[in-house]
Amino acid sequence: GENVEQHPSTLSVQEGDSAVIKCTYSDSASNYFPWYKQELGKRPQLIIDIRSNVGEKKDQRIAVTLNKTAKHFSLHITETQPEDSAVYFCAASNQAGTALIFGKGTTLSVSS
């Protein structure tokens, strides 16, 4: 089955800096790669996603890149703000009826 690795587990940046979180996946059939932000005790909140027919997607300060050959995808947050501090998860899936498999998460801390 699918296995998703996520790095780093913790990331500390200064306000205004960029943050990059990387994930690799094992199943070459995976075709959907979402990123979630999760607050303690809450459901994951989708912040951006990418499908396998696209190499990059951007939404304001957030972007995701996908390298299918290398089987890795990355989340890029520019001009970080203290409110970006949270736990971020990447995930992958390969079919409409299958579950998302999550990475282990990254705790991002943005200090002002």
Q: What are the CA-CA distances from residue 104 to residues 9, 34, 50, 79 (Å)? A: 7, 14, 19, 24
Residues 42-81 that bind other proteins (CB under 8 A): 42-44, 46, 49, 51
Strand extents, DSSP E, 2-105: 4-7, 10-14, 19-25, 32-38, 45-51, 56-59, 62-67, 72-77, 86-92, 101-102
Q: Rule CB under 8 A: say whether 110 interacts with other proteins.
A: no
Q: Rule CB under 8 A: say whether 30 interacts with other proteins.
A: no
Q: Rule CB under 8 A: say whether 32 interacts with other proteins.
A: yes
Q: Rule CB under 8 A: say whether 99 interacts with other proteins.
A: yes
Q: Rule CB under 8 A: say whether 35 interacts with other proteins.
A: no
Which residues of the shown chain bind other proteins in the complex (CB under 8 A)?
Answer: 31-32, 34, 41-44, 46, 49, 51, 89, 91, 93, 96-105
